[in-house]
A and B are shown apart, each in its own frame.
Chain A
Amino acid sequence: MANLLLKQLFLFDPLSIFFLIVIGIVSLPSAIYSIGYMRGEYKRGKCILAAALLIVFVFSMCMVVTAGNIFSFLVFWEIMSLVSYFLVIFDTKHVKSVQAGLIYIVMTHIGTAFLIGGFMILYKHANCLDFFTIKNICQTIPFQTKNIIFLLLLVGFGTKAGIVPLHIWLPYAHPQAPSHISSIMSGVMIKTAIYGLIRFVIFILGVNQTWWGSLVLVLATITCLAGIIYALMERDLKRLLAYSSVENIGIILLGVGLSMFFISINKPYLAVFSLIAGLYHLINHAVFKGLLFLCAGSVYKATGTRDIEKLGGLIKKMPQTAAYFLLGAMAISALPPLNGFISEWLTLQAFFLGALDVTGGTKLFLGLCAAMLALTGGLAAACFVKAFGITFLAQPRSHYAKEAKEVSFSMKAGMFFLSALVVILALNALKIIKLLAKVASVSTGIDIGNMSFSLNNFILTPQIANNVYLSAPLLAAILIIFAIVAYAVYMSFGRQKAVVYKTWDCGYYKLDARNEYTSTAFSKPFRIAFSFFLQPYRKTQKIRESFYHVKSFTYETHTTQVFKKYIYDPVLALVLKSAKAMRRMQPGSIHLYLGYIFITLLLLIVFMRKF
């Protein structure tokens, strides 16, 4: 029993502190935001309940990232899952919330089961629960066992992080919670799974198999693409953001997986560099996804709908929210000079730099991963052009959007805080990279004393002489100067005001909101290009008065959720089938159940005899 004692309750190393900071900078503005958001939405008692749950939720996340032993890690991990479950079903009026909560709680417990499996194997070898003791023991664990532990942990944490195909709960659960909670869930909670991966796989277990990194890279690539393609198809603003979280987890994992890959082939510099890229994207995503969810919440609060087909023209009704959303959308689309650009750029560079140090087919593999990252970036830009353009621009598409008003001060304050962080994280890239280097060094166990991250220049090619000297503030300055010069030129050609007139309508003179491009129309090219994956189908129905006159015409289009259809549905069917078979054992008779217990007891006693 002595080895069950918890000697090391807490662990405050740079990795934990980094995650604490991430939790803090997203939770604080979300909490401020919630003051305005919850007012009028629910009754007073329920608001207090929400605030209490929020506190417990944030607290449990803080505890997860600072736990110093497996036991307390698991306990707080579970508290985090349960509290977030309650927050998902908080809006009990909607049947959808309860369904989403069910999917969430089932998936998250499947994940936890895998985690417990992995942890038990670790415990069996180490006979101790403390991280450092296990870390020391891990060098002696045979590699087959390590492989099993790695796979168990990957599935366990992957479920929480939302790696495709374990992501299915995420687009249901995240949008159903109140918006500030969605912001914390998407911004921070799924990152605790990344923390787990770094802590347990890189820090404790130690990577010495090349295929671990490759597997994570492949999964991450699939996650990126699937996430963003689904996001493009989505017309529910918050679900769109949730799918985009799946995508961004993929990008973060590209950095982490690459780091694992380089650790296993013993390239310390590249390992640290890739992990920096991953961690940088992690904090960036926390900030801008938090911001976007808060903005989406404001839109929901102001209009009462999350369906972007019903929105439009909000930029005039809610100018500040629109500006914040635009900033977030730019950041998430990796546009320079904002923070999303810097981290994606670092990740791409990690791929490029790494390709110089590996041989043969691995180069091609890294190149293809980089290309897929670029594709993801392009699709993300398309997705957020759609999200911003359809929601905020042009004319309102329904009365929901027509009657919208700017949201209250506390909500704006929360959004402003995160927007400021987007800019700060972009312009102070150098300092942040240096700090992250320490975090990466601790988590990989690599000494960075003799490495120079002369990253005020975003070096791409340390081997090649003509580096591009580029820093984020410089790039921002260049962009702004050129824009100002262009403006000066523009003004120098005359100062007459522009004539305001109707949009060009081909002489139709009755152009209204119904002529605008919709979100579904916007995503149609993508739906067709990725039809092998989305498997779209449509239903049309014409009601005719006569052959020439069609009275009404309905058109529906849907996409198939391939993962649900080809993975989850068969599994579910199997479970139901076996449950039906089990039913024969379950006739509902108390005597029989008692008999089962009794016989089990007797058998156990007999079984005991052998030992």
Chain B
Amino acid sequence: MIELILFGILAATYLLVIVKRMPALIQGFRYQSFFIFLITLIAGLTENQPGLLIVALLILALKVFIIPFVLNSIAKKISVDENLGLLINAQLSLVVALLLTYFSWVFSGMLGFNNGHISIAITVAFSVIFIGGFLMISRMKAFTQVLGLLIMENGIFLFASFLSGGMPFFVEIAIFLDVFVSVIIMGLFVYRINKLFTHIDVNKLSRLRG
């Protein structure tokens, strides 16, 4: 069951790599978050931890509904160009993503996780982190940087929850709050950048250097 959901996460992550437009990207993020919610929910039910249940509900609320909603509304406000501006095209990005997954696999072996689903979970978690980073690098729009960060955060959450059975409850809550605030702030930034420069192409910001 858990393995299935993990593969779901991985699939959602690959989806994020190949999409070319903003709404699709947000949708992909929504899928990924939903799978993470499922995993947390199952963990909470099987281990009978009410804390985990609350966290799961928070994931559902924040990452599946509120954050994508906020991002969507920002995307609509900007409404100039929905294209993400791929620096590396979709096919090549997928190859890189696969390579990163392989690397994560090797790395999880290095860390000494060789048994069953923990090993898979660690691999997936690392892939999500790496791919999030890769997305931030390889997409032009400032928007992707926001989403990349969120994806990486998902990966870190996954990693933490499998490595140590979840972070302490309050840390978790704090991180959620942090992420939420950062989304709002970055959203505002993107909006401002767009207003000022009539685009959110980060590439062109390089003109600002001294």
Contacts and interface: CB of A to CB of B under 8 A. Distances in A.
Contacts of A52: none
A592 to B, nearest CB: 8
A534 B138 CA distance: 58
A602 B100 CA distance: 10
B208 A588 contact: yes
Given A598-B133, A598-B134, A591 B202 contact: yes
Nearest to A596: B137
Given A589-B206, A591-B138, A597-B133, 4 more contacts: A588-B209, A590-B142, A591-B140, A598-B137
B209 A587 contact: yes
B133 A594 contact: yes
A595 B107 CA distance: 20
B202 A605 contact: no
Interface in A571-593: 586-591
A602 B137 contact: no
Contacts, number: 39
A594 B202 CA distance: 12
Contacts of A591: 87, 136-138, 140, 202-203
Contact of A587 (B103, B110, B133, B206): B206
Give the contact-size bracket for chain B: 20 to 34
B44 to A, nearest CB: 31
Nearest to B126: A605
A588 B133 contact: no
Query: Interface residues of B: mostly helix, strand, loop or mixed?
Result: helix
A610 to B, nearest CB: 11
Nearest to B144: A591
B145 interface: yes
Contacts of B209: 586-588
A594 B136 contact: yes
Give the contact-size bracket for chain A: 10 to 19
Nearest to B107: A605
B207 interface: yes
B205 interface: yes
B137 A588 contact: no
A601 interface: yes
A586 to B, nearest CB: 7
A237 to B, nearest CB: 39
Interface in B188-208: 202-203, 205-208
Interface in B136-188: 136-138, 140, 142, 145
Contacts of A597: 133
Interface in B100-148: 103, 107, 110, 130, 133-134, 136-138, 140, 142, 145
A594 B152 CA distance: 13
